[in-house]
Structure 1
Amino acid sequence: MQVSEVDWDHDPQIVLLQGAGEFFPALIAALDAAHTDVQFETYLFDFTGTGATVAEALVRAAQRGVHVRVVVDGVGTGRLPTPWRLRFRAAGVRCLVYAPLGLWGWLLPSRWRRLHRKLCVVDGRTLFCGGINVLDDFHDPNHGALKAPRFDFAVQITGHLVVQASDTMERLWQRMVAVRNIRHYQLPAAVRALRAAQAARHRATTSSGQRPRASLLLRDNVRHRARIEKAYLRAIGAAREEIIIANAYFLPGRKLRRALVLAARRGVRVQLLLQGRYEYFLQYHAARPVYGTLLAAGVEIHEYEPSFLHAKVAVIDAASAHPWATVGSSNLDPLSLLLAREANVVLEDSDFALALRQRLVDAMQHAGQLLHPETYAQRPWRVRWLDRIAFALVRVALWLNGKNY
Structure 2
Amino acid sequence: MLRSATFAAGHQLTLLEGGAQFFPALIAAVDSAQKEVRLETYIFHFDAQGLEVAQALERAAQRGVPVYVVVDGVGTPLVPPEWQRRWTASGVRWHQYAPLGHLGLLIPGRWRRLHRKLCVVDGRWAFCGGINIVDDWLDPHHGALQVARLDYAVRVEGPLVAQCQLAMEQFWARLETTRQLEQLHWQEVRKSWPALGLFPSRAGTPTDATAVTTGSFAALVLRDNVRNRTRIERAYLKAIGEARQHIVLANAYFLPGARLRRALKHAVRRGVRVQVVVQGRYEYFIQYHASRPVFSELVNAGVEIHEYTPGFLHAKVAVVDGVWATVGSSNLDPLSLLLAREANVVVHDAAFAGRLHAALCALIQTSTRALDRAADAKRPWRQRLRDRLAFGFMRVLLFFSGSRY
Would the TM-score normalized by the shorter structure come out above 0.5?
yes
Are the aligned partners of 1:120 and 1:129 in contact in 2 as well (CA < 8 Å)? Answer: yes
User: 1:166 & 1:392 partners in 2: Cα distance?
Assistant: 40
Shift of 1:34: 0.2
Number of residue-to-residue matches in the alignment: 400
Which residue does the alignment assign to 2:13?
Answer: 14
Which residue does the alignment assign to 2:91?
Answer: 92
2:247 partner SS: strand
1:195 aligns with 2:198: yes
Are the aligned partners of 2:123 and 2:206 in contact in 1 as well (CA < 8 Å)? Answer: no
Alignment counterpart, residue 228 of structure 2, candidates 218, 224, 227: 224
Shift of 1:199: 6.1
User: 2:205 & 2:106 partners in 1: Cα distance?
Assistant: 35
User: 1:31 & 1:196 partners in 2: Cα distance?
Assistant: 25
1:404 aligns with 2:399: no
**Equivalent AA in structure 2 for residue 52 of structure 1:** L
**Equivalent AA in structure 2 for residue 335 of structure 1:** L
Are the aligned partners of 1:272 and 1:300 in contact in 2 as well (CA < 8 Å)? Answer: yes
User: 1:208 & 1:326 partners in 2: Cα distance?
Assistant: 22
1:214 aligns with 2:218: yes
Which residue does the alignment assign to 2:103?
Answer: 104
Residues 147-170 of structure 1 show CA distances to partners (whole Å, capped at 9, x for unaligned) of 111010000001111111111111
Are the aligned partners of 1:170 and 1:200 in contact in 2 as well (CA < 8 Å)? Answer: no
Which residue does the alignment assign to 1:366?
Answer: 366
User: 2:249 & 2:193 partners in 1: Cα distance?
Assistant: 43
User: 1:180 & 1:4 partners in 2: Cα distance?
Assistant: 26
Which residue does the alignment assign to 1:253?
Answer: 257
**Equivalent AA in structure 1 for residue 352 of structure 2:** F
Structure 1 unmatched ranges of 5 or more? none
User: 2:133 & 2:356 partners in 1: Cα distance?
Assistant: 22
2:179 partner SS: helix
Are the aligned partners of 2:252 and 2:314 in contact in 1 as well (CA < 8 Å)? Answer: yes
User: 2:200 & 2:106 partners in 1: Cα distance?
Assistant: 30
1:243 aligns with 2:247: yes
**Equivalent AA in structure 2 for residue 115 of structure 1:** L
Which residue does the alignment assign to 1:32?
Answer: 31
CA pair 5-203 structure 1, distance change in 2 beyond 3 A: farther
Q: So what's the TM-score if we normalise by structure 2?
A: 0.95
Residues 110-136 of structure 1 show CA distances to partners (whole Å, capped at 9, x for unaligned) of 111000000000011110000000010
User: 2:180 & 2:24 partners in 1: Cα distance?
Assistant: 36
Shift of 1:19: 0.6
Are the aligned partners of 1:296 and 1:373 in contact in 2 as well (CA < 8 Å)? Answer: yes
User: 1:194 & 1:107 partners in 2: Cα distance?
Assistant: 32
Shift of 1:212: 2.0
Shift of 1:280: 1.2
Shift of 1:207: 5.9
**Equivalent AA in structure 1 for residue 19 of structure 2:** A
- Shifted more, 22-31 versus 197-206: the winner is 197-206
User: 2:26 & 2:102 partners in 1: Cα distance?
Assistant: 35
Are the aligned partners of 1:181 and 1:189 in contact in 2 as well (CA < 8 Å)? Answer: no
Shift of 1:262: 0.7
User: 1:276 & 1:157 partners in 2: Cα distance?
Assistant: 31
1:77 aligns with 2:76: yes
Are the aligned partners of 2:11 and 2:215 in contact in 1 as well (CA < 8 Å)? Answer: no
Residues 229-257 of structure 1 show CA distances to partners (whole Å, capped at 9, x for unaligned) of 00000000000000000000010000000
Which residue does the alignment assign to 1:120?
Answer: 119
**Equivalent AA in structure 1 for residue 50 of structure 2:** G
CA pair 78-381 structure 1, distance change in 2 beyond 3 A: same
% identity of equivalent residues = 55
Query: How do 1:329-368 and structure 2 match up within 5 A?
Result: 329-368=329-368
Shift of 1:379: 1.7
CA pair 158-211 structure 1, distance change in 2 beyond 3 A: closer
Shift of 1:196: 2.8
Shift of 1:99: 0.6
Are the aligned partners of 2:77 and 2:99 in contact in 1 as well (CA < 8 Å)? Answer: yes
**Equivalent AA in structure 1 for residue 272 of structure 2:** V
Shift of 1:36: 1.2
Q: So what's the TM-score if we normalise by structure 1?
A: 0.95
1:195 partner SS: coil
User: 2:142 & 2:276 partners in 1: Cα distance?
Assistant: 25
User: 1:360 & 1:143 partners in 2: Cα distance?
Assistant: 25
User: 1:379 & 1:192 partners in 2: Cα distance?
Assistant: 63
Are the aligned partners of 2:3 and 2:227 in contact in 1 as well (CA < 8 Å)? Answer: no
1:275 aligns with 2:279: yes
Shift of 1:336: 0.5
2:386 partner SS: helix
Residues 43-72 of structure 1 show CA distances to partners (whole Å, capped at 9, x for unaligned) of 000012111111111111111111001000
2:8 partner SS: coil
Shift of 1:386: 1.5
2:43 partner SS: coil
Which residue does the alignment assign to 2:300?
Answer: 296
Query: How do 1:52-67 and structure 2 match up within 5 A?
Result: 52-67=51-66
CA pair 60-190 structure 1, distance change in 2 beyond 3 A: farther
User: 1:21 & 1:378 partners in 2: Cα distance?
Assistant: 40
**Equivalent AA in structure 2 for residue 299 of structure 1:** V
**Equivalent AA in structure 2 for residue 355 of structure 1:** R
Shift of 1:208: 8.2
CA pair 259-172 structure 1, distance change in 2 beyond 3 A: same
Shift of 1:6: 1.6
User: 1:283 & 1:182 partners in 2: Cα distance?
Assistant: 37
Are the aligned partners of 1:282 and 1:391 in contact in 2 as well (CA < 8 Å)? Answer: yes
Shift of 1:177: 0.9
